């Protein structure tokens, strides 16, 4: 089970992966990405990792890949899925806490 600390670390890792865009030599301030952009990136990474794992499994069945490559790809997909689930659990927990607040 993922803890709040693990979710915070996953969120920080996702945020660092989405480095801010530097607009160039014009001296414009870097554009910060929002929470929605981070979620889209994390979901895209999870989908890409799942597709890569499926491709490695297909290649291994056809004899074009080693078993260690398949295991590595599946482990990467599992890690990405656990990150998405940890973020989801924290968002749901925050929503439930907000709903319990007195008005």
Sequence spans of domains, the chain: 4-16+33-100
Question: What does the DSSP 8-state code read for residue 47?
Answer: H
Report the C-alpha gap between 57 and 43 in whole angstroms: 21
Q: What is the pLDDT of residue 50?
A: 94
- pLDDT means over runs of 10, the chain (103 residues): 65 62 46 77 90 95 93 93 89 92 86
pLDDT for res 23: 40
Burial class (CB in 10 A: 0-12, 13-18, 19+), 78: middle
The pLDDT score that the predictor gives to residue 31 is 57
């Amino acid at each position: 089970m993922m803890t709040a600390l693990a979710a915070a670390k996953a969120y920080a890792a996702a945020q660092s992966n989405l480095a801010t865009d530097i607009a160039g030599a014009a001296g414009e301030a870097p554009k910060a990405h929002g929470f929605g952009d981070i979620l889209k990136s994390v979901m895209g990474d999870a989908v890409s990792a799942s597709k890569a794992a499926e491709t490695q499994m297909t290649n291994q069945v056809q004899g074009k890949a080693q078993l260690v490559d398949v295991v590595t790809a599946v482990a990467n997909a599992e890690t990405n899925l656990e990150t998405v689930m940890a973020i989801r659990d924290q968002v749901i927990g925050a929503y439930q806490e907000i709903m319990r607040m007195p008005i």
